Every structure is written in structure tokens, then in C-alpha cells.
Amino acid sequence: MTLKELQNLDLKKLALEGIEKSKFDSAFVYRYPFSEDLPPVDLKEFEKNAFEFDSVKMPLYIHIPFCTKACFYCHYFKTVPSSEKIVEDYLRALEKEAAAYSKKLENKAKINCLFFGGGTPTYLSAEKINKLVSLLKEKFEFAEKIEATIESSPETLSEEKIFALADKFNRLSIGVQSFDNKVLHDANRNHSSEEAVKAIEMAKAAGFKSVNIDLIYGLSGQSTESWQKTLETAAGLGLESVTASSLRILCGTKFRSMPKTSFPSEEQKLKMHSAFIEKFSNQGMLQCFPYQFVKQGQEMFFLENQWSNGEFLGLGASSCSFLNKWDFNNWYPVQNYVKKVEENGFPTAIGKRISKEEEMIRMLALGMKKSGVNRKDNGVNKADFEKKFGVKIEASFGTEILKLKKLDLLKESGSHLGLSSIGLLFFDEVARIFASKN
Ligand code: SF4
């Protein structure tokens, strides 16, 4: 949707139908059932049932919760460690958790993708990170060529570290958020715009197959002009991938205690999202997800798998996993996680085996994220849905689809049902409409 088309959008009409982005946003929809609806896990049942399959190929996610500073908007589980002992205890627990899964999975799992997320995984030294990767490769069977991603923040990236990481990872994701130093300062980021550009240049020189940057729109004091400049700087860097997230002002963050007037309005945020889509589609990049563009030919296997209802295993405090239809989460913070690993091997806190109806919602709600303005396989493949569940999408979600089509939020393109250009701006709201069926 172009900025001009956005001006004609009837936001009041959408709001009346429950399609509204509130300033104090609810969290990004990354799973279904939602975390708050998952019960405490029945560990006996979990250990008996979650591993009952012949073989699986899946991504492996590792959560490193450490950061150099807490950003004012951050609602992820992270910590600024007060001692090196906390880090050492955590890494030891991760090793034990990996051993517990490795034993239980026997040789039935093949890892086809590796993702280190956080927190800031590059808070750790390259030596510690690479040692951990080697250990994981001893514990699990890895496919020969895999997408291996590590997330980072500019202040943790020296030239030496970047080159060392390029030995184990082929994709580096850098949390840049903005190229405006005032906006970075007001969000309590621990780096400048210049440091971010330097880190990107070093990453390109180190030969990563893909360098991604994460940006955020809606930050305190961020004007549409500031956002536009950030987009222009990003577009000039020749990146393989650019991600732009809408700020979510969630409970427990410093931003939550600030007046609403400190932040761009929801209308401004919609303009910022549209400007992002316009900028990178005009550059010939592919919109793989509503919030991400990649250069043509690049893949984003880890998320593509997650939005396709695929299985994955997450290790570390607060990590979530989806295995044999078990949707589950680990304990956090670090002390709880370490204690539970010591006690049980498996630090699983909440989770259950999801029902067929829940899986149908999951496939549709998350599958909408596989939409993009120039993506050919836009959204969910209807035949795949029918093959998996033995029922047509329309037969199960007719009411919701009709409502969303009337609001111009969905579009059919051949075999696929996905988000329209308006729907791309409301991808989480559309997911919640499908989730409301239950
Ligand atoms: S660096 Fe990332 S994970 Fe750490 S506090 Fe900031 S936003 Fe959160």
C-alpha cells in the first residue's frame, strides 16, 4: 500500500470491526495457543509423549539472554549479568540441556538450521560462542549445509569477533533500530549510528552470506522524517535483509511509564510501515514477511519454518519449542532455568500437546506472516491445509475469511490465501481474528 493509498484508508471502520493497533500494543503473535493460555507442563507426560516419532528435521534455537544494557522498550527475557559466574553457570546449564535432548532424541533428529537469538548472543566472546556451536554439533546430527544465524548488537562487535563468527555462522543479524543518534539515546541503546554502520561494513567484509539489520518504528521522539532518513541509510548499505518492527509498549518496560505523547501516533506508525514497504519493494527486494525484505534469491529458513507450523527445538532460558505437536516453553530467569536443568535435565515450564483445532488456527494465523507485497506464494497454501487436516480452509474458517475479505485485508492468489496490501499493515490483528475462533 502506497502512502497515498494509506490516506484513504478508513481506520475508524476497521477499528469498529476489531482491527485496531492500540498504542500500548499487545505482543507480536509468534505462536498459537498464546503463551498465557499454556498450562504448567506435565513433565512425565512430556517426556513420554513429545519424543514419540520416527524422525524429524528441524531448526535448533539457542537463547543467550545477556545484554550490555537494557533498552527502554525491551520486553524480551534478557539480563545484564552482574558477574561472569552467571554467564558460566548458564553456559554449563545449556550444555546439560543439550545433552538431555540429545539422549532423548537418540538419532531421530537432524538439525537443518541454527539460530542464536537473545538477548545479545554476541555479548559472549567469539571463543565461547564457537565452542558452544562445536558442542552442539557433537550432541546433535547436523545437515551438511545449513543456515546458521547469530543476532548481535553493534557495541559487541569488534572486527576480530566478526571474522571469528563468520567461521561458524553464515548469517549475521545486527540490532540497529535507528540511524538517528537522538532516537538511539532516548531508547537507551548502547551504540551510535556510526558504530552500527561500521559493524555492517565489517560484517560484509567478513563474507557472511547474509547481513540483516533490525529496525524499529514508533520509538520515543522518532519523527516520520527521522524514520525516512533511517530507511534511506539502510537502503544505501546494500544489505541482504532488512527487518522493521512496530514498537510494542508492553508492561514491564521503561517506555510503558512514559506519556503516550512521547511516541508517534498509530497513524504515523502505519505511515512508517508503508514507507518501509515502499522503499524496499522499489529497490527490487522481496517482501518475505510483512516486516521483512530480503534480496531476491535469499532465504529466511528459520522463520519460514516457524510460520509454516514446522517443528523446532529451543534451548536456554525462556526458549520455546514445537515438537511432535507439543508447544512448550522453558523456565526463566537464569537462576530458575539453571536450577531446573540441575533437577530435571529438561527445564520445561509450560506447554501441552495441542489439539487438531488449535493446530488449524496455528497454521492459518502464523501462515499469514508468509505474506508480502511481491511474494508469489502469498500466505497459506490452501491445498496443503486441506491435505493436512482433511477439510477445506473455507469450511473451517468461512466466517472469519468472509469478514476479513470484506475489510480488504485478505486476498486470494491462485492456490494461496494471504494478506492484501492493507492486511500487511495489520498482520497481527488478522492473526488474532483467526485465533478468536476458539
Ligand atoms: S539489546 Fe536487544 S535484547 Fe538486549 S535489551 Fe536491547 S532490545 Fe532487548
Q: Which three cell numbers mark 223?
A: 519523527
Q: Looking at ligand 1, which atom is closest to the CA of residue 118? A: 3
Indicate if ligand 1 lies below 6 Å from the C-beta of 309: no
Query: Which of 66, 69, 71 has most ligand 1 atoms within 8 Å of its beta carbon, as the pocket-test mutant?
Result: 71
Question: Is any atom of ligand 1 closer than 6 Å to the C-beta of 184?
Answer: no
Distance between Cα 68 and ligand 1 center (Å): 8
Ligand 1: centre distance to CA 79 (Å) = 9
Distance set, CA 88 to CA 12, 98, 128, 164 (Å) = 53, 15, 10, 21
Residue 299's pLDDT is what?
Answer: 85
**Which residue, among 406, 404, 433, has the nearest Cα to 419 in the 3D structure?**
404
| Sequence spans of domains, the chain | 1-21+355-438, 35-306
The reply to whether CATH 1.10.10 applies to domain 1-21+355-438 is yes
Q: Which atom of ligand 1 lies nearest, measured to the CA of 189?
A: 6
Residue 234 grid coordinates: 539502510
76 touches ligand 1 (CB under 6 Å): yes
Q: How many CB atoms lie within 10 A of CB 296?
A: 8
Phi/psi of residue 204, nearest 5 degrees: -65, -40
Check if the beta carbon of residue 393 is closer than 8 Å to that of residue 399: no
Interior CA angle at 105 toward 99 and 107, to 5°? 105
pLDDT attached to residue 242? 98
Contact 120 CB / ligand 1 (< 6 Å):
yes
Question: Measuring from atom 7 of ligand 1, which residue has the nearest CA?
Answer: 74
CA of 69, closest atom in ligand 1: 5
- Ligand 1 touching residue 175 (CB < 6 A): yes
- For the stretch 184-236, pLDDT in tens is 999 999 999 999 999 999 999 999 999 999 999 999 999 999 999 999 999 99
Instruction: Find, among 147, 122, 411, 76, the residue nearest to 294 by Cα.
Output: 147
Nearest to 22 by CA among 269, 257, 226, 232: 269
| Residue with CA at minimum distance from ligand 1 atom 6 | 71
CA of 74 to the centre of ligand 1 (A): 6
Is the separation of the CB atoms in 274 and 244 below 8 Å?
A: no
Task: Please tell me the distance between residue 401's alpha carbon and the centre of ligand 1 in angstroms.
Answer: 36
> Cα-flanking dihedrals φ and ψ of residue 175, to 5°?
-80, 100
Dihedrals φ, ψ of 251, to 5°? -55, 145
Residue with CA closest to ligand 1 atom 3: 119
Crossing angle (nearest 10°) for helices 382-389 and 393-406: 140
Distance in angstroms (rounded) separating the CA atoms of residues 330 and 65: 13
**3-class SS of residue 298:** coil
pLDDT the model gives residue 437: 78
Strand ranges inside 333-391, DSSP E: 348-353, 380-381
Spatial distance between the Cα atoms of 111 and 353, rounded to a whole number of angstroms: 22
423, 405 contact by CB (below 8 A)? no
Classify 387 as helix, strand or coil. helix
Q: What is the pLDDT of residue 24?
A: 58
Q: Which of 78, 184, 189, 249 to mutate to test the pocket of ligand 1 (most atoms within 8 A of CB)?
A: 78
- CA-nearest residue for atom 8, ligand 1, is 74
Phi, then psi, of 64 in degrees rounded to 5 = -110, 105
Phi-psi region of 169 (alpha: psi -120 to 50; beta: other; left: phi over 0): beta
The residue whose CB lies within 8 Å of the most ligand 1 atoms, and thus the one to mutate among 72, 79, 120, is: 120
Burial code (b: 16+ CB inside 10 Å, e: under 16) for 307-317 equals bebbbbbbbbb
Helices 84-105, 334-344: axis angle to 10 degrees equals 40
Q: Indicate the CATH number for domain 35-306.
A: 3.20.20.70
3-state class (DSSP) for residue 292: strand
Residue 329 is predicted with a pLDDT of 97
Contact 347, 41 (CB under 8 A): no
Pairing of strands 141-152, 109-118: parallel
Residue 332 to residue 340: CA distance in whole angstroms: 10
DSSP conformation class of 35: G
Residue 350, classed as helix, strand or coil, is: strand
* Residue 106 confidence (pLDDT): 87
Q: Which atom of ligand 1 is nearest to the CA of 65?
A: 3
pLDDT number for residue 4: 73
Low-confidence stretches of the chain (pLDDT beneath 70) = 22-26
Output the CA 381–ligand 1 centroid distance in Å.
35
Centre of ligand 1 from the C-alpha of residue 93, in Å: 22
